[in-house]
């Protein structure tokens, strides 16, 4: 049957709308939205009610690579340096050494319990060795999970930066499996340092170039700025790969560098890429749902459960404990980081590499990987809040919303408008503003009181649940403001 472009657009838009409506309806029951998107894709597939026949790993891989590029850039763009600086080495250790140990442990286990050679087992272990940025970002942020001791920036930094390592291991092991007589593992060491070094350098350079271009090009149409940055992001990924670097690492680093600089239309561009990232996540999960054949997963359920449990309960915890051996993290923190080892669409995308390369057991690898992702998101993704409370690591997410003054115009202004909510424990409730020992350089600009805006003066008495828009100069001043408000 030949489909016109109108047929394809109608089908794609219908799946998109159904996915969003279902995620809105069922998300309240704790089911991660990403697994719902995957389920819609499976239902629409050749063995579902939609009967859409899609068996094109190359297209799925291409869509996945583009989607992952934009998701990583968006994650980097929304990452604040002041948040990740205290946990930088923790995140780097988990995203490199942790990924490597996970791949080695799981690969060895797979070769012992399944009909896989050691290299084939290591290939499967490499494919599922990284936590998924899309899954971690969406679940932590959509559920507004507050965590103690900088755990959240640690988890987001790890998930945003560990895909390059998993990608390198996957591509390298695929090459070794296909060329066992010609290639050796030792050849991968210089290749690893070359790819990562080029990727990191390109990310730093392009992040700075992006900021300079955005601030100096002076486009007459504001709507062209998202297109401009999109072009530079894709160029960063493609050019880095062309010169033998790691394109995924490059775009993530570029996003972090750009996001921590001042440039015009910053707020609107961050929102634009947040929307693009969600669209890419939905597109990726729908595509991979269409690609899978549920009937082929049933025969590997037993093996899949065994491998999934080993990954979740053994390989991931060991890699975390070794990766954080020299950090000051407590056992509870390490246990929670171990539990947030979410696998998402990225491992399924990586599983298409051995499929396209013609690896002998690639079909079985793909189906096992798909099952691992399902169990990971369903088991771990639905219990993040529960486990955090159980380990006494959860807290109310009190991070204030912040707007940098001059941000949209690219001014290097240190002042920020911060939104603070007066909750029941606040000692400022019932007091007038003049009674508060506010820092002299801070100012309450506006009060949102039950949807009505109040212009404050010294005699204004503060009430419970007031939302205060406060102007501050720096972090030290914000601490003093919180103390004055009893927050």
Between 480 and 331, the higher pLDDT residue:
331
Same-domain status, 181 and 296: yes
Name the average pLDDT for the chain. 82
Same-domain status, 431 and 386: no
Q: How many CA atoms lie within 13 A of 389 on its CB side?
A: 6
Across the strands, what pairs with 403? Answer: 417
Domain finish residue from 361, 390, 419:
390
CA 133, 336, 113, 289 torsion: positive or negative? negative
Same-domain status, 263 and 127: yes
Whether 355 shows a pLDDT value over 80: the answer reads yes
- Domain presence at residue 51: yes
Q: What is the pLDDT of residue 182?
A: 67
Same-domain status, 357 and 253: yes
Same-domain status, 291 and 181: yes
Q: What is the pLDDT of residue 39?
A: 77
Q: What is the pLDDT of residue 403?
A: 57
- Domain presence at residue 396: no
Backbone angles phi, psi at 467, to 5 degrees: -105, 115
Q: What is the tens place of the pLDDT at every residue in 175-202?
A: 888 887 666 666 777 888 899 999 999 9
Same-domain status, 374 and 456: no
- Domain presence at residue 395: no
Same-domain status, 472 and 373: no
Whether 81 shows a pLDDT value over 60: the answer reads yes
Same-domain status, 326 and 184: yes
- Domain presence at residue 189: yes
Whether 412 shows a pLDDT value over 50: the answer reads no
CATH number for the domain harbouring residue 445 = 3.30.70.1450
Q: What is the pLDDT of residue 138?
A: 62
Between 55 and 94, the higher pLDDT residue:
94
3-state secondary structure at position 234: helix
Confidence of residue 396 (pLDDT cuts 50, 70, 90): low
Same-domain status, 301 and 450: no
Q: What is the pLDDT of residue 198?
A: 94
Q: What is the pLDDT of residue 136?
A: 67
Cα(196)–Cα(199) distance, rounded to whole angstroms? 5
Same-domain status, 365 and 448: no
Domain finish residue from 369, 390, 411:
390
pTM of the entire predicted model: 0.79
Parent domain of 438: 401-485
CATH number for the domain harbouring residue 54 = 1.20.1530.20
Same-domain status, 384 and 412: no
Mean pLDDT of all residues in 163-169: 89
Confidence of residue 314 (pLDDT cuts 50, 70, 90): very high
Mean pLDDT of all residues in 326-353: 86
Q: What is the tens place of the pLDDT at every residue in 120-144?
A: 999 999 999 988 766 666 666 555 5
The enclosing H or E element of 454 equals strand 452-454
Q: What proportion of the chain, given as a percentage, has pLDDT over 90?
A: 23
Domain finish residue from 353, 368, 390:
390
Q: Name the least confident of 26-35, 205-214, 356-365.
A: 26-35
Q: What proportion of the chain, given as a percentage, has pLDDT over 70?
A: 87
Between 2 and 425, the higher pLDDT residue:
425
CA 202, 205, 209, 211 torsion: positive or negative? positive
- Helix residue ranges per DSSP H, 162-223: 163-178, 188-216
- Domain presence at residue 182: yes
What total of structural domains would you count in the chain? 2
Same-domain status, 49 and 146: yes
Q: What is the pLDDT of residue 317?
A: 94
CB-based contacts of 234, cutoff 8 Å, min separation 6: 66, 69
């Amino acid at each position: 049957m030949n489909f016109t472009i109108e047929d394809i657009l109608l089908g794609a838009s219908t799946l998109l709308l159904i996915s969003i409506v279902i995620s809105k309806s069922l998300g309240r029951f704790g089911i991660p939205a990403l697994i719902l998107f995957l389920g819609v894709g499976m239902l629409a597939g050749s063995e579902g009610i939609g009967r859409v026949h899609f068996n094109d790993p190359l297209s799925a891989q291409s869509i996945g690579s583009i989607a992952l590029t934009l998701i990583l850039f968006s994650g980097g763009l929304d990452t604040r340096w002041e948040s990740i600086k205290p946990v930088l080495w923790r995140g780097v250790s988990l995203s490199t050494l942790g990924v490597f140990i996970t791949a080695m442990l799981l690969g060895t286990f797979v070769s012992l319990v399944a009909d896989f050679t050691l290299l084939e087992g290591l290939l499967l272990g490499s494919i599922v060795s990284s936590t998924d940025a899309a899954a971690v970002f969406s679940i932590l942020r959509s559920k507004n999970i507050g965590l103690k001791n900088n755990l959240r920036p640690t988890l987001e930094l790890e998930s945003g930066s560990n895909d390059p390592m998993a990608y390198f291991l996957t591509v390298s092991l695929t090459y070794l499996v296909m060329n066992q007589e010609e290639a050796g593992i030792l050849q991968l060491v210089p290749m690893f340092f070359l790819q990562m070094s080029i990727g990191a350098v390109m990310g730093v350079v392009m992040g700075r170039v992006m900021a300079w271009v955005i601030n100096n090009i002076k486009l007459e149409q504001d709507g062209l700025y998202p297109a401009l940055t999109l072009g530079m992001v894709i160029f960063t990924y493609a050019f880095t790969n062309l010169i033998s670097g790691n394109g995924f690492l490059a775009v993530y680093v570029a996003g972090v560098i750009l996001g921590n600089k001042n440039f015009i239309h910053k707020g609107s561009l961050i929102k634009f890429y947040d929307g693009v990232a969600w669209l890419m996540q939905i597109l990726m999960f729908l595509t991979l749902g269409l690609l899978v054949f549920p009937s082929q997963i049933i025969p590997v359920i037993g093996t899949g459960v065994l491998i999934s449990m080993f990954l979740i309960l053994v390989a991931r915890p060991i890699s975390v404990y070794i990766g954080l051996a020299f950090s000051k993290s407590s056992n509870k923190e390490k246990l929670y980081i171990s539990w947030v080892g979410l696998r998402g669409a990225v491992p399924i995308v990586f599983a298409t590499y051995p499929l396209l390369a013609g690896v002998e057991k690639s079909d079985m690898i793909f189906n096992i990987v798909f099952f691992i992702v399902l169990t990971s998101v369903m088991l771990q993704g639905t219990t993040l809040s529960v486990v955090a409370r159980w380990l006494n690591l959860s807290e109310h997410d009190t991070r204030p919303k912040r707007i940098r003054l001059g941000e949209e115009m690219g001014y290097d202004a240190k002042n920020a408008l911060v939104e603070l909510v007066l909750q029941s424990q606040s000692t400022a409730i019932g007091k007038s503003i003049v009674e508060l020992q506010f820092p002299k350089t801070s100012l309450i600009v506006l009060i949102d009181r039950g949807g009505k805006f109040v212009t404050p003066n010294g005699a204004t008495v503060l009430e419970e649940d007031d939302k205060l828009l406060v102007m501050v100069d720096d972090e030290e001043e914000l601490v003093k403001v919180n103390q004055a408000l009893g927050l």
